[in-house]
Structure 1
Amino acid sequence: MARPRKFDEARVIDAAMDTFWRRGYEATSTRDLSERTELGPSSLYNAFGDKRQLYLRSLRKYQETATAEQVEVLRAPGPVADRLRELLATAIDADLSDTDRPGCFAINAAIERAAADPDVREEVRRNFATVEQALRETLAEGQRSGEIDPDRSAEVLARQVLSTYYGLRVLARVQPDRAALLDVVENLLESCTGATRTRPDR
């Protein structure tokens, strides 16, 4: 009979996710993971498998937490344009304020590991698809209410917003100019609504 685990699995996954997020897959060593999770290497890998399996678990946890928060913003009540703006502006502010944990973990994984590891690629694809589906539903809602240009495909608009969202998260890492990044957001919203909008104070 297997002995019960004497650690908090959720806490360990959170610590591993944060480590991979800050350092990347290749730069994260077993020692790094052991120190951050407070588990010895043998205990860590007996519980979760090897480093790669722990990385995949971390990506799934990211989808359950950070990606779920993005979807929650899109499904909140209120004007559709305001929800889209909040999604994009919140990501910009998060990326500019936390330079030790750069950008979006899913994007980092896509850049570093997706080409070489089909399981990582699938986790990232699932992550992106979740956000895209929420965007498509939100934009379709905006079309029904008259807030979003009804002559454009909600699917195409969702991909445009998704591409801009992830592009901004990469751009914020090398061009930390909040005003310039927010200009991109407002131009995107104008494109979605089909009209020039009064831009909010920053």
Structure 2
Amino acid sequence: MVDRAVKNPYPVRMARPRSFDEKQVLNAVRDQFWDAGYAATSLEDLMRVSGLGKGSLYAAFGDKRQLFLRALRSYTDDSHGHLREALAEAPRALDALRMLLEAPIDDSTGADARRGCLMANSTCELGNADPEVLDHAHRTYETSTALIGDCVARAQREGDLPAGADPIALARALLAAQQGLVFMSRTGLDAATLTATARSLAAQLLPDHSGD
């Protein structure tokens, strides 16, 4: 039998695998946006920190706005992962909630202190002009509130917080206090003052009822 197969004159071209680590690139551009903000970050900045050319960068992630949104989602996903882990690892939930207030103090002398929170920074810069950023901020803080609220409920079950308190209401108050401390640490406030402020907030928001 004669093989009548006809060779395809238009061979399919296999897509070349990406030669870069996507997570590493996202982390690099996230740091750039975190340091400089969205408006002050140029395409040249993104190319420099990512090590990619314009074509490769935009082919993989889209334009500057889409790249920023990807980096912002990466940041909030990582933040929620760290928060979930920190709240779950503490032997008692009350200790975890107190550590939440102390976290900005622990970071107050580090490189991230003057950066603040990328989500909060981005909301201040873009929230009024970009509904997608505002919606993401809302969902981010709702997720954080839910995680903290679960920890509050655990502290109630352990007998360390009043059983009648609304876990979500207290979680919102704790999140607002923690974000306030983040902002204060960004101004360069000294660690001793931040510590005193955090302890005052903890005494008011997280009184220990275990001995009642």
TM-score (norm 1): 0.89
Structure 2 residue 154 is matched with structure 1 residue 141: yes
Structure 2 residue 125 is matched with structure 1 residue 119: no
**CA RMSD between the two structures:** 2.0
- Higher helix proportion (structure 1 or 2): 1
What is the letter of the counterpart of residue 172 of structure 1?
S
Counterpart CA distance in 2 for 1:170 and 1:88 is 12
1:25-174 equivalent positions in 2, closer than 5 A: 25-98=38-111, 102-174=115-187
Query: How many residues are paired up?
Result: 197
TM-score (norm 2): 0.85
Indicate the structure (1 or 2) with the bigger Cα radius of gyration. Answer: 2
Q: Which runs of 5 or more structure 1 residues have no equivalent in the other structure?
A: 198-202
| Cα pair distance change 1:185/1:196, threshold 3 Å | farther
Percent identity, aligned pairs only?
Answer: 37
Checking the alignment, whether the CA contact within 8 Å between 1:148 and 1:192 is kept in structure 2 is: no
Moved more, 162-171 or 74-83: 74-83
Candidates 179, 184, 194, aligned match of 2:197: 184
Task: Provide, for residues 151-178 of structure 1, a one-character-per-residue CA deviation record: whole Å limited to 9, x for no partner.
Answer: 3211111010010011111111114221
Candidates 3, 24, 44, aligned match of 2:37: 24
Counterpart CA distance in 2 for 1:100 and 1:196 is 33
Checking the alignment, whether the CA contact within 8 Å between 1:16 and 1:58 is kept in structure 2 is: yes
Task: Provide, for residues 91-144 of structure 1, a one-character-per-residue CA deviation record: whole Å limited to 9, x for no partner.
Answer: 332243115861111111111112211111122222212211111000011111
Checking the alignment, whether the CA contact within 8 Å between 2:113 and 2:185 is kept in structure 1 is: no
Q: State the shift of 1:179 in Å.
A: 1.8
| Cα pair distance change 1:196/1:98, threshold 3 Å | farther
Moved more, 21-30 or 67-76: 67-76
Q: Which runs of 5 or more structure 2 residues have no equivalent in the other structure?
A: 1-13
